[in-house]
Homo-oligomer: A and B are copies of this chain.
Amino acid sequence: MIKVGIIGSTGYAGQELVRLLLGHKEAEIVWYGSRSYIDKKYYEVFGNMFEIVDAACLDDNMEELARKADVIFTATPQGLCASLVNEEILSNVKIVDLSADFRIKDVATYEKWYGIEHKSPSFIEEAVYGLCEINREQIKGKRLVANPGCYTTCSILSLYPLVKEGIIDPNSIIIDAKSGTSGAGRGAKINNLFCEVNESIKAYGVTSHRHTPEIEEQLGYACGKQIMLNFTPHLVPMNRGILVTAYGNLNGKYTYEEIKAVYDKYYANEKFVRVLEKDVCPETRWVEGSNYVDVNFKIDERTGRVVVMGALDNLVKGAAGQAVQNMNLIFGLQEDMGLQQAPMFP
């Protein structure tokens, strides 16, 4: 039984980790970390856990946690994980960091986009980027995994085969992404009140969202060069779900079958990436509550572009689900353990 500690268990991603791990037959949560709700029963924060989780929330105590747990998930704001890790901790416990601290290899890029100093640059090199379908082999056995961002996972998995195979010009890529509101976190902010979000849609972080360099770095690895692209996130009045609509200039003329073959090459054997049938557009309703990413594409012969679409649940494949998938890989478990439930609809 793998003993799990969660730092930041009272955010939306933290709570989703709890939900998923309760259904994982080889994992057991031993630490519900939450600075905001210390000593409060976890079910008082999340009523769905009444009579299911009896534990109370604990303050962050990294040393004690490293002794008690086999793996720690940090579902915390940027900077916290980097401030907590050190060699002794990492020699005792595996860490799956759901924040951005170890996602970007270049410290300067991290510090520029996030506006904070990195506290543990020496561990960046060691950390593996936990996009399971791409870096599966490197994740196995690792002690520090940087769990990818929600927008990032959806964007990269949607575009990866086309970039990797040189089908599109990576510098022509435009990613227009739409997210449910749980992506904005559980902080008490006026802009996230029901009446402010409901019946509205808006872009935010235009040209400056922090997932941009993360996407550029990973897609850059895929094509072997530095790239720059546009990424625009939007807030949608729904709880869960991310839809990515991406545009790229085709490097030549391609048939549907040719591009479909490229997607199949990478994803035909991937359980969690579903390449939809021709002309079927991904919809977030079909992945809710599950670890699936639905992707598809449409060639526009008129303009010489391809429109790529991807949909996932931002709290599952975009956060907690992929973190569990990473845990499974680290510990050599069946990769989909605890992640086998079908999407819930409606």
The reply on A143 being an interface residue by CB < 8 A is no
Q: Mark the stretch among A59-67, A124-132, A278-286 that contacts chain B.
A: A278-286
Query: Using an 8 Å CB-CB cutoff, how does the interface string of A318-346 with B read, 1 for contact, 0 for none?
Result: 00000000000000000000001111111
The one of B12, B52, B345 in contact with A346, judged by C-beta atoms closer than 8 angstroms, is B12
Name A33-79 residues within 8 Å CB distance of B.
46-52
Q: Are B342 and A201 in contact (CB under 8 A)?
A: no
Given A48-B285, A48-B287, A186-B193: A199 in contact with B300 (beta carbons within 8 A): no
CB of A237 within 8 Å of the partner chain: yes
Total interface residues on A, CB under 8 Å, equals 83
The reply to whether the CB of A153 lies closer than 8 angstroms to some CB of chain B is no
Q: This chain: how many copies in the complex?
A: 4
Give A253-308 interface residues, CB cut-off 8 Å to B. Answer: 274, 276, 280-290, 294, 298-300, 302-303, 305, 307
Binding site for B on A (CB under 8 A): 12, 15, 18-19, 22-23, 46-52, 171, 174, 176, 178, 180-182, 186, 188-190, 192-204, 206-207, 228-230, 232, 234, 236-241, 243, 245, 247, 274, 276, 280-290, 294, 298-300, 302-303, 305, 307, 309, 311, 340-346
